[in-house]
Structure 1
Amino acid sequence: MVLRLREEYSTLPGRPDVTEAKAFLSQLNMDKNRYIDIPCLDKTRVKLQQQKVDYIHANWVECPELNAKVIMCQAPLDITTEDFYHMLYQEKVALIACLTKVTEGGVEKSYPYWPVVEGKQITFGKYSLKALSSSQEESCCNVTALELTKQDNKQSQKITHILYTDWTDHKAPNCTKFNGLKTNNTLPTAVIHCSAGIGRSGTLAALLRLQKTIENGQAPNIRSVVQQLRQQRALAVQGIEQYIFIYRTLMEMTYKLERRPKQSLGELLKHINALRTATEKSDLQQKHCLTLRPL
């Protein structure tokens, strides 16, 4: 069964052609890329307005199931933090789902662009970001209420920042609860980022879309959703473990729904049940703890 999912995953769009990421490859923008091998597609990239350079490693992704516009992006570098603030202000971002710690395994994954202590403020160029309050939601989510202010006109906007602390690169998180990361269908624009902005970010975006599909009584199509995400944010859902995690999480969700479309979930449950009964001696299963626990 794991082999079948590997084969399905291998049919997804791969690395885009260089002609599809010209801004990413421009010498003018090289220093703004956290990773030289993670392209930013031209056709969906966020363009900064009223800036000398309009480039930021961020893409719009369509999430029609959610009543929110979604941006997936890389974690800010020190030299791109002002650009990041500018994007938040320009696009009136109300929610940031941060899926990486500042450092992991001694390696920097994100510049510490947000203040975590109440009353503390960080200023970059013409923007300042202030922490209004901070709290811990469950054991894996830190929530900070932020206020972003543009210095020249003193206009400000409120942003909810959610740091998910239990997710390592290229893997799936131990916790399958994303309640704190849902957009609640009321936010005008949400930003999702990890370090590169493709693995964990793509996994969360896919989950939010597919969960809403199931809640609406419709049949989920995991491959189709991931394919759509990859057409807008290159290489979204970076590894097979994350792809399997999407299946696993959706199965757990269906058990908890009082109203679930049993017939439309047939294909999903067929895949997942095979995963559950797969041999415990599977190297992939043993390494990444894919066996489902009873709810």
Structure 2
Amino acid sequence: MHNEKNVAEAIWNTCFDIKDKTKDNVKARQDIELLCDRPSLHLYKRNGKWQRPRAPYCIDKDDKIKILNWFQELKFPDGVRSEKYESKRAGLATTNSGVCVTCTDDNGNALEYFGVIEDIIKISWEGREQLDLVLFYCRWFDPTSRGVKRTENLGLVEVKHSSRLQNFEPFVLASQVTQVYYLSYASDDPSLKDWWVVYHVAPRDRLPPIDINNDSIETEGPTNDISFFQEDGLEGTFVIDLGDIELIDTLASDEITDPKELEQLEKQTVAPEQEEILESDEEGDEDDAESYDEDCYEEEDF
């Protein structure tokens, strides 16, 4: 968990080029010059001042605004609700209508149907024991390659939310579905506009089943979900204020002004110059020695 957080923060700070937090510093650029064939990222001097070329992975001002606005509009699941219920209540901070049903065909191949709950229907039978049946009325997306894309090496699943299942089969038992969360892209690319990324969500009061590998101790009986206690909500809020974030225009290069980085550059610049002076001195000494030997030979010949 902490490693994921650290990596995510490093990527965010570097792509947003946040001062004093980015990993794209002088040391990194010197490593690029030493180890990589990317001359466009090498440090250079202009008018006596060190310059750091702007890297292509640094986000420009317009894209920063798009990404931050996308973060402001994010809604995360915290239960199960219908789309009909959510549409009547403006300003909800969560979305809980995404579902997935997994089935198998005649050949044993698994097929996933992704959809959205449009309405929730509860049927009750009164008697000696109260019996309840909960049905979800869903709008299903096309489960074929026209409506679902998979990138197996990344574990990425995308659904085309404008596609529809051709057959009219809207009803499903609540016990048959798993909850999913659909995430849009923070991009204006027309090719991504109709696609959502699918993220499977664990139920709020259940832990996922524990995977047992060959190295672990085998236990008898089935492995069930583990129940645990979770608060209904988390304290605090998540707010992004665009006014508090420095949005720098994209430039060809940035001037290096940090005193420590400038000192490091000057030290590494002086060292090669000193080596050149020493080499030139050694070459001069060798020339003097050769001329001295020639003079000695001439005196002996005389």
Q: Considering fraction of residues, name the structure with more strand.
A: 2
Q: Whose radius of gyration is greater, 1 or 2?
A: 2
Bin the TM-score by the shorter chain. Answer: under 0.3
Q: Which has the higher contact order (CA 8 A, sep 6+)?
A: 1
